[in-house]
Chains A and B, each alone.
Chain A
């Protein structure tokens, strides 16, 4: 089982609470509120009921027979793309939005990369009667215009982050600046297992449902056995930690696939940004480098601290794949299985395709964390 961080909010040497003094009382308050809510049967049953009757959980497992035959392995997909709003992000947001209400906050702040967390946040806010303001990099607003429109349709205000690389990193900066100014009335719903303690831990606990379900489903499908490898894409790393949490005590290799232009674990060194100490792409002076990925959801130079920890102890591996491999994998899944994956998840498939020889005969569970409808317009441009 993945362990809870210590009172210093650390997983090994990673994590912590590197935020302005203004936010420290809010971090402490959130930590207490989450612990209390998580231990409260009423809160848990309210969340479970929303996950079931609103988000559509449990998500199914689909076996990819065509791809499996082609690649010479057994490929199982955990279908988080079938959740309401089209990705795993809803699991976390429903938990945090319920918590925000319980804490008496009326306004949600969120950052978003590809727009999936923004859409999920706008959705939860609409359902629970909260205001919602979403920060999104200006570049991401261009390449994910459909999700921008969806958020606005759901009643959220979407604000462009125009500084720096104009992507997810800058959206997080703007969301943190808003939070510093509005901390007494607003709740910052971070979309991944990142940020200051308790966020990385709390978001993992909200995403753990993926791994809990998948573990039991695999045992059923595999006659009591576990998969040989569990593969997920990693930006901040919430879908990966969600599915890893179910298999950390099994024999399964845990593989978090990063984009080659945003390989924080693969190419970064420990650094501190956005409230946490974790692997980070940065220059020799600690200036954070811009990530470059075809996938807006993974276009982030950092990674959640628990992934840095799992890498440092050798429990999980973090290879990277190129944009070209991702584009090929995206098309492959569409044609072979009739499933259009999110570009983020196509990273996981791209690694499986590349490693097919070494995985021959094995059972691979991949987290299909989101559907690709949002990426179709971008792919039309790329594929012509």
Chain B
């Protein structure tokens, strides 16, 4: 199977020697579309857009608060996809949504809604390998790439099966825990990225607990890139879209600086 739009894009940049940066932004949060434009203009390689859900069990306090705020302001999956379909950026978009959002729409309908909105990929954090088939089949036929998560707890025999089902990139969960900023990059992050890099050529990005430019740099000593969520969303909520742009630029510089 030839790589889809997101995977092709990330592979090309990775193979040209670039470390990949994917900021996460909660859809429907005040200023979110400008934040995406800012991130795109300051060095993001793709954007992960979170579709807010009432019960985000993989998320810590910052993204929970952002989700609640977006929902209170009236955001729905449809309003977010509608806005994304009119968004004028060059880099691919992946949405992150909990499975009930997909389930409520129906897998085929949701896949075609994403495709119509120009969304390249989907990340569904509560849809493990055991449950992913109906969605993955619908997504494949609609041309939407399904990013799979790999966790530090996965036994060795499980990782190749995850990768076989994975499109776009593989999302290496950096630590045991929910999204949120931490003082240090967990040792599990690099360890898992190494295990994945040893068995696959698909881009390996570490997310969850990559909290600043320094940690992003450390993570990409092994991984192909990072996803940064809480640190981005916190800046959007506290400071606004410009601060997201400044932060993405700072992380970009750290990723691009020569390595010893």
Contact = CB atoms under 8 A, between A and B. Distances in A.
Given A177-B57, A177-B178, A183 B153 contact: yes
B100 A272 contact: yes
B87 interface: no
A181 B178 contact: yes
B131 interface: yes
Interface string B53-64: 111111010001
Nearest to A185: B176
Given A273-B100, A288-B54, A20 B125 contact: yes
Interface residues of A, number: 37
B132 to A, nearest CB: 10
Interface stretch (B2-10, B11-19, B71-79): B71-79
Contact of A180 (B148, B154, B177): B177
A271 interface: yes
Contact of A22 (B64, B78, B153): B153
Kindly name the residue among B71, B127, B155 whose own CB sees the greatest number of chain A CB atoms within 10 A: B127
A288 to B, nearest CB: 5
B99 A18 contact: yes
B176 to A, nearest CB: 5
Contacts of B78: 285
B128 interface: yes
Contact of B104 (A8, A183, A284): A284
Contacts of A363: none
Interface string B68-86: 1001000011100000000
Contacts of B99: 18, 272
Contact of A272 (B68, B103, B178): B103
A127 interface: no
A103 interface: no
A277 B154 CA distance: 23
Interface in A265-297: 270-275, 277, 280, 282, 284-288
Contacts of B104: 271, 282, 284-286
B128 A19 contact: yes
Kindly name the residue among B56, B68, B100, B149 whose own CB sees the greatest number of chain A CB atoms within 10 A: B100
B103 A21 contact: no
A18 B128 CA distance: 7
A153 interface: no
Contacts of A287: 53-54, 71
B126 A20 contact: yes
Interface string B165-194: 000000001001110000000000000000
A184 interface: yes
B88 interface: no
A271 B55 CA distance: 13
B153 A26 contact: yes
A20 B103 contact: no
A16 interface: yes
Contact of A273 (B55, B148, B152): B55
Given A18-B126, A24-B130, A287-B53, A282 B177 contact: no
Nearest to A283: B104
Contact of A25 (B64, B102, B126, B154): B154
Interface in B197-243: none
A24 B176 contact: no
A20 B101 contact: no
Nearest to B79: A285
A164 interface: yes
A17 B128 contact: yes
Please name the 8 residue pairs, one residue from A and one from B, whose CB atoms are nearest each other, closest first: A286-B104, A181-B177, A22-B151, A286-B100, A287-B54, A21-B151, A21-B149, A288-B54
Given A19-B128, A286-B100, 4 more contacts: A20-B57, A177-B57, A181-B177, A288-B55
9 contacts: A20-B125, A22-B151, A24-B128, A177-B60, A180-B178, A182-B176, A183-B176, A285-B77, A287-B53
